[in-house]
Chains A and B, each alone.
Chain A
């Protein structure tokens, strides 16, 4: 663990970020035992879960034993909440009066889950974001603009506090509309920004059409941190964002119940580092539950936040699907990389005409074709016993002359990348729904 002082500058914490994997696992095991013990002693929910599985905290002796601990799913949290201690229920591990922060999940997959945090947990949230922002090149000299609604969803809240912690100047662009946000970015010469991919592209569109501003030339944003959607890890979407803004676009992945557990670094290695200092992350075979250690095999991510105390996140089934990368990162971090980021969600990956498909594969194709707008919508229905998928797209106004060539390219690429044939519907430019935060572009109406 020798490192020159000069080598420190690229890391938020060079000690843990360059720790060999075996040492990291040793550290994780110790912390995992602690958090399980903490939850067992304080949370009725966890104690019951473990007792029913015939497990006591003392039974965890090796790293392999981690997988013996029962998983927690979002639905289980929904079931115990809205009860005393109100509204969090039996998983709360601290006296209610120690909770200083309330957030909730977006409710995309059902009733929202509430997330209580103490001030220490909130510091921890900011810490997890500080690792990622620092890895993405945020420094004290940055003026960071946050164009999101500061409300009950965690979104970029911790990004705000982490940027402050790093020493950046933070500009909260809360209730301003898109045009006002763009003008403020221009006025203040902001250098960095955090937003969902949908909003990053939408802002660029608004800048050009309504303000006559070319973000790449007229604004000074040079790094953008994305969250909330997989777009920044989809090469074609990332490229569109980077070209539109003349900025580096970095992905990060996290969840309200978990924390900010993965991030892309400035080396952009084609994947996301897992923050192994704060999270114990395992990939499980979706069918068998077997732990996957080798690269190149997909599984779902089961994750533990090692230091989150008020409502512990222990072996949380994130439903995110990923695979380990075999390549080390040129940045020098030993935090493992999930190749290509989160490639889908186990509950999103669906079978259409007998073919398994992740909606992100459609996005990758549409956004890779010049002449198509950023917006699209895929709708799956049942026609008799057969699945039928329609892809609605828009041609850019100046692409009408190449209509047939573009549509042929789209059909070929869709066939190649998704193994499916689609009904293609071309809609007038600007007529498909526009989204401000998280987009819903894949609609499965068979259910």
Chain B
């Protein structure tokens, strides 16, 4: 796994995060959207722990 591939994954993780956050903004308070988007964000955090955070160090 090279750094380039990690970066590509990180870009997609950020896109998922942005999409989930935008869903919450657009929902107008619909709980079925807000709460499911929050769950997606919790999973996104696990992707950040496993992939994105590693980009903070010199591999």
Interface residues of A (CB under 8 A from B): 1-3, 13-16, 19, 23, 26-27, 30-31, 118-120, 122-124, 127, 277-278, 307
> Smallest CB-CB separation from B3: which chain A residue?
A1
Contacts A23-B59, A119-B42, A123-B43 hold; do A278 and B53 have CB atoms under 8 A apart? no
Residues 1-28 of chain B, each 1 if its beta carbon lies under 8 Å from chain A, else 0: 1100010000000000000000000000
Structural contact, B1 and A127, CB atoms closer than 8 A: no
> Total A-B pairs in contact (CB under 8 Å)?
52
Q: Please determine whether B46 and A30 come into contact, CB atoms closer than 8 angstroms.
A: no
B46 adjacent to A127 (CB under 8 Å): yes
What are the 4 tightest A-B residue pairs by CB atom distance, in nearest-first order? Answer: A120-B42, A123-B42, A26-B57, A119-B42
Give the interface centre of B41, B51, B54 by most chain A CB atoms within 10 Å.
B54
Interface pair A27/B54, CB less than 8 Å apart: yes
Closest chain B residue to A123, Cβ basis: B42
CA distance A53 to B51 in the complex (A): 35
Residues of chain A lying within 8 A (CB to CB) of residue B42: 118-120, 122-123
9 contacts between A and B (CB under 8 A): A1-B1, A1-B2, A1-B59, A2-B1, A15-B54, A19-B54, A26-B57, A119-B38, A277-B50
Contacting residue for A16 out of B46, B50, B56, CB 8 A: B50
Q: How near does chain B come to A297, taking the closest CB pair, in angstroms?
A: 28
Distance A152 CA – B53 CA, assembled complex (angstroms): 32
Q: Is the Cβ of B45 less than 8 Å from the Cβ of A124?
A: yes
B49 within 8 A of A: yes
In the bound assembly, the distance between CA atoms of A30 and B58 in angstroms comes to 12
Q: How far is the CA of A307 from the CA of B1 in the complex (A)?
A: 24
Least distance between A280 CB and chain B CB atoms (Å): 13
- Bound-complex Cα distance A268 to B26 (A): 51
Size class of the B contact interface (CB-based, 8 Å): 10 to 19
**Cβ-defined contact, B41 with A27, below 8 A:** no
Do the beta carbons of A307 and B49 come within 8 Å of each other? Answer: yes
Inter-chain CA distance A341–B34, complex, in Å, is 43
Within the complex, the shortest CB–CB distance from A336 to chain B, in Å, comes to 18
Which A residues lie within 8 Å of B1 (CB)?
1-3, 14-15
- CB contacts (< 8 Å) of B46 on chain A: these are 123-124, 127
Shortest C-beta distance, B57 to chain A (Å), equals 5
A27: chain B residues at CB < 8 Å are 53-54, 56-57
In the complex, A171→B43 CA distance in Å? 23
Candidates B6, B38, B49; contact of A124 at CB < 8 Å: B49
CB distance from B2 to the nearest CB of A (A): 8
Roughly how many angstroms separate A307 CA and B59 CA in the complex, as a whole number? 21
| B56 in contact with A278 (CB, 8 Å) | no
What's the Cα separation between A124 and B41 when bound, in Å? 12
| Residue pair B56, A30 in contact (C-beta under 8 Å) | yes
- Chain B min CB distance to A50 (Å): 23
* A123 adjacent to B54 (CB under 8 Å): no
Smallest CB separation, B29 vs chain A (Å): 15
| Smallest CB separation, B28 vs chain A (Å) | 19
Within the complex, the shortest CB–CB distance from A228 to chain B, in Å, comes to 25
Q: How far is the CA of A23 from the CA of B53 in the complex (A)?
A: 12
A278 to B54, CA, bound (A): 12
Q: Which of B43, B49, B56: most chain A Cβ within 10 A?
A: B49
